[in-house]
A = this chain, B = another copy of it.
Amino acid sequence: MIIDWKKIAGDMYEKIKEEILVSWKKLSLQAILVWNNSSSLRYISQKRKWAEYVGIEFRLEHMSENIGEEALLNKIKYYNNDVDTTWILVQLPLPSQIDSKKVIDLINPKKDIDWFHSENQWKVLLWEHTGLIPCTPLWVIEILNYLKVDLNGKLVTVIWRSNIVGKPLVALLINSGATTVCCNSKTKNINEFTKKSDIVICAAWNPGLLTLDMINDKTIVIDVWFTIIDEKIYWDANFEEINNNWNMITPVPGGVWALTVANLMNNVLKAGKLQEM
């Protein structure tokens, strides 16, 4: 069965749209795009589409790929001080001449809609309920909620350990009562964990990493990242093989956008409320 996360996302959008219509005035999301890789372009166009759908003005500053770090930092300072900019979003990854961490941590934490700022991140890791949650870990948890999975006592394997997805996810899962295994590229016999797991979450950017023989017939597979090679999308999980034979799997190709961006819009609302406090 393929998890219908387009429906999950759709429900979220309608709720957000109504809340904005009822409770908010002018809202604007300032996106900054530096690296024109095809994944980033797709993400940006989806963010525009759904921001406008729910009633948020979406502005894009499209910079040159050769831009220096200083120029980008100055842009951030400008939007931090601009009262007409409600939120700022820098599309990652950035080209190698720029220190991403420096850029992200310069954003006013209350305008940091991606919730990547260090000050925002520790709230997730320490399970501060007042904080927002980075969109990607958040939708993984949302899907599990939607499927009514009680994480207490469940075995969950997370494949990879980035600061943006893997580590916050591990913290969210541990805090939800799951027995949590965090693997990396040096893990021996990953299949010994995945085979026993109730849930496997792939976030490794490693096409075809997870195959049918590595899971059991009840495993829920959630595949977070994809890789684009020659305009074709590849997932960490061998999608067709697993989908044709097995139980529950995300993504619906194409649907990944919907849910990440829906959660981004959800964060927009929460951050708006924090700014008012």
Contacts and interface: CB of A to CB of B under 8 A. Distances in A.
Interface of A: 118-119, 121-123, 125-128, 152-153, 155, 161, 163, 166-167, 170-171, 174-175, 177, 179-184, 186-188, 192-193, 196
The 9 A-B residue pairs with the shortest CB-CB distance in the complex, in nearest-first order: A122-B122, A153-B186, A125-B125, A179-B187, A180-B182, A181-B181, A161-B174, A152-B186, A174-B182
A135 B181 CA distance: 24
A163 B152 CA distance: 18
Contacts of A183: 179
Given A122-B125, A179-B182, 10 more contacts: A118-B126, A121-B126, A153-B186, A155-B187, A155-B188, A170-B182, A179-B184, A179-B186, A179-B193, A180-B182
A126 B170 CA distance: 12
Contacts of A186: 152-153, 177, 179
A184 B161 CA distance: 20
A162 to B, nearest CB: 10
A36 to B, nearest CB: 29
A153 B174 CA distance: 21
A196 to B, nearest CB: 7
Contacts of A196: 192
A154 to B, nearest CB: 9
22 contacts: A118-B126, A121-B122, A121-B126, A122-B122, A122-B123, A122-B125, A125-B125, A126-B167, A127-B163, A155-B188, A166-B174, A167-B171, A167-B174, A170-B170, A177-B186, A179-B181, A179-B184, A179-B188, A179-B193, A180-B181, A180-B182, A181-B181
Contact of A170 (B119, B128, B174, B193): B174
A272 B215 CA distance: 51
A109 to B, nearest CB: 12
A122 B171 CA distance: 12
Nearest to A192: B196
A182 B170 CA distance: 9
Contacts of A119: 122
A26 to B, nearest CB: 33
A153 B189 CA distance: 10
Contacts of A193: 179
Nearest to A118: B126
Nearest to A186: B153
Contacts of A118: 122, 126, 128
A121 to B, nearest CB: 6
Nearest to A122: B122
A155 B123 CA distance: 28
